[in-house]
Amino acid sequence: MTTEKGSEFSCPLPLSDYPEIVMAHGGGGALTQRLFEEIFQPAFSNPFLNARHDGAVVELSGNRLAFTTDSYVVRPHTFPGGDIGRLAVSGTVNDLLMCGAQPMFISLGLIIEEGFPVASLRTVIDSIRAEAKDANVSVITGDTKVVDKGKGDGIFINTSGIGVLDANTDIAPQRVRPGDAVILSGDIGRHGVAVMAAREMLDLGESIESDVASLGGPVRALFEGSISIHCLRDPTRGGLATALVEIADSAGVEISIDETAIPVSERVRGVCEILGLDPLYVANEGRFVAFVPEPQADEAIDILRRDPLSATACIIGTVKESEPGIVTCTTSIGGTRVIDMLSGEQLPRIC
């Protein structure tokens, strides 16, 4: 029985160099992708999973639903601009929004370490309640487990979410077309830098706040403005670069971006410059990329700029067909380079 089960779940392409899990397997970059391709996908292969969207879109009794799940292990639990509770709601809500769904319900799974102060738990739960209220979702089921002291890191949270889609909404990487404009909803790199600064207790003078936010406002505004959205993606772990590479790969298109068009705040740039980080790979928790037909791009920008969460939205590039699966970038001095997925990880446990 054991043998049969073992062979059923066997991995056709062994992870040659890492017989054990290393931190980068959870970094959202190339190693995470390999885990998916070599272990998860072979085991569970189905059209929903294989679409590799932020969530799965399914049809049940004539209703279209989006379903997603995410775990939150950020350290420290509180950082400038947010905390693990707020993140656990907005991250899952945003994944549903990126499928084109209206988020409705979320579950709340807590893994708490023995000795975690109840007062801290209350703070986390308060934060979850406030964010769920803002995002207009209800927490409708949950679970609590406690692990021995030293076997956890205070608190880990898992949330799953369900949202509903209109019959005619079709938002997926596969819908991206040559000629689409690539729109970014705001400046990048805040979340990763804010968490790292809090964790390493870097004194940056005036602190950089995470961009963590539920993105229902700006996304709904695009729908209500009748923008024909082809694809949405929130550039979380692995940053903007990884999000774009995933979409170029799934859609079989070239995405060409202009480095100088990508907004990065002076403070984030400064920290990244000193620490040798590339803002393109730093996590965001309150930004999204939208692929829309070029003729509607300016109108989409106008709509987005009316919402404070996307007040600095801008066009950062365009979709081409010349080099399928590749993201290219025009550099500040007029050269070009290829943007690839991150192989290791720049910053562990940022979400």
User: What are the residues binding another protein (CB under 8 A)?
Assistant: 16-24, 30-31, 34, 266, 269-270, 273, 275-276, 323, 326, 328, 331-340, 343-344
Residue 128 or 316: the one with the smaller Cβ distance to another protein is 316
Closest approach of Cβ 333 to another protein, in Å? 4
Buried b (16+ CB within 10 A) or exposed e, 294-323: eebbeebbebbbebebbeebbbbbbbbeee
Rounded Cα distance between 319 and 280, Å, is 18
Closest approach of Cβ 78 to another protein, in Å? 22
Q: Residues near 127 by Cβ (< 8 Å), separated by ≥ 6? A: 82, 83, 84, 85, 86
Residue 24 or 137: the one with the smaller Cβ distance to another protein is 24
Residue 135 or 327: the one with the smaller Cβ distance to another protein is 327
Neighbours of 80 (CB within 10 A): 16
Residue 141 or 331: the one with the smaller Cβ distance to another protein is 331
Closest approach of Cβ 337 to another protein, in Å? 4
Closest approach of Cβ 14 to another protein, in Å? 11
**Of the candidates 350, 328, 326, which has an alpha carbon nearest to the alpha carbon of residue 337?**
328
Contact (CB, 8 A) for 213 and 130: no
Rounded Cα distance between 164 and 59, Å, is 10
Residue 143 or 273: the one with the smaller Cβ distance to another protein is 273
Residue 241 or 316: the one with the smaller Cβ distance to another protein is 241
Contact (CB, 8 A) for 196 and 217: no
Rounded Cα distance between 161 and 176, Å, is 25
Closest approach of Cβ 205 to another protein, in Å? 15
**Cis-peptide into 76, omega within 30 deg:** yes
